[in-house]
A = this chain, B = another copy of it.
Amino acid sequence: MALEHAILVSLLEKPGSGYELARRFERSIGYFWTATHQQIYRVLKRMTSDGWVDVRDVQQYGRPDKKEYSVAGPGRDALGAWLQEATEPESVRHDLAVKVRGAAFGDPAALITEVERHRQAHTDRLAHYLTGEARDFGEPTAGGPLDAERELQHVVLRGGMAYERMMIAWLDDVLATLAGLDAGR
């Protein structure tokens, strides 16, 4: 289970509440690891009782109070150990690939709309990444030594962009194939 570790990384980058974590999992972190607020609250509870994180009640004005979590020593140790642990390459789940192979037994042309919908979603996400890259990494490192955190966030973002570009190109390939089947019958 890597959700715990994803939370540790996010809290090391910046301490925050369960609610704030949930929103981070809708943006930056969520592009390579998804989680609902339910999962996050549940795991934070376990991590607290395991001593991986510390909690601090924070009073707020104009909005409900919150609990701010930050990484404790044992949590940092656990993350360090996990980093060197061998993890199996993630199991893939591409329902669109299932649909494409399934189209052979239905109407291939009927799948086109769905493929175009996915292509649009990937195009949007790529545009979002590019905006974020220009905002966060547009200028060279602002003096000082290499900032490891910044460099590593950037290389992960480049991975996300490479994935979206690959998907868009593949979906174009799929659309061309579907169109070819439609024309050829």
Partner-B contacts on A (CB < 8 A)? 2, 5-6, 8-9, 12-13, 31-34, 76, 79-80, 82-87, 89-108, 110-111, 113-114, 117-118, 121-122, 145-146, 148-149, 151-156, 158-160, 162-163, 165-166, 169-170, 173-174, 177, 180-181, 184-185
Chain B residues within 8 Å of A102, by CB: 5, 8-9, 12, 79, 82-83
Bound: A9/B94 CA distance, A: 14
The smallest beta-carbon distance between A157 and chain B, in angstroms, is 10
Main secondary structure, interface of A, reads helix
Known: A86-B117, A98-B33, A100-B152. A185 touches B93 (CB 8 A): no
Contact A6 B98 (CB under 8 A): yes
So how many copies of this chain end up in the complex? 2
Q: A92-B163, A146-B180 are in contact. List 5 more A-B contacts (CB 8 A).
A: A8-B102, A32-B98, A90-B93, A152-B177, A154-B177
Partner of A89, one of B99, B118, B151, B165: B118
Residue of A80, A89, A146, A148 most packed against chain B (CB within 10 A): A148
Q: Is the CB of B156 within 8 A of A173?
A: no
Measured between beta carbons, the chain B residues less than 8 angstroms from A96 are 87, 89-90
- Report A165 CB to chain B, min CB distance, Å: 8
- Cβ contacts A to B, 29 pairs, < 8 Å: A5-B98, A5-B102, A13-B101, A31-B92, A32-B92, A32-B97, A32-B98, A33-B93, A33-B94, A34-B91, A79-B106, A83-B102, A83-B110, A83-B114, A84-B110, A87-B99, A89-B118, A90-B93, A90-B94, A91-B93, A97-B160, A100-B156, A103-B152, A104-B149, A148-B181, A162-B166, A162-B170, A163-B170, A166-B166
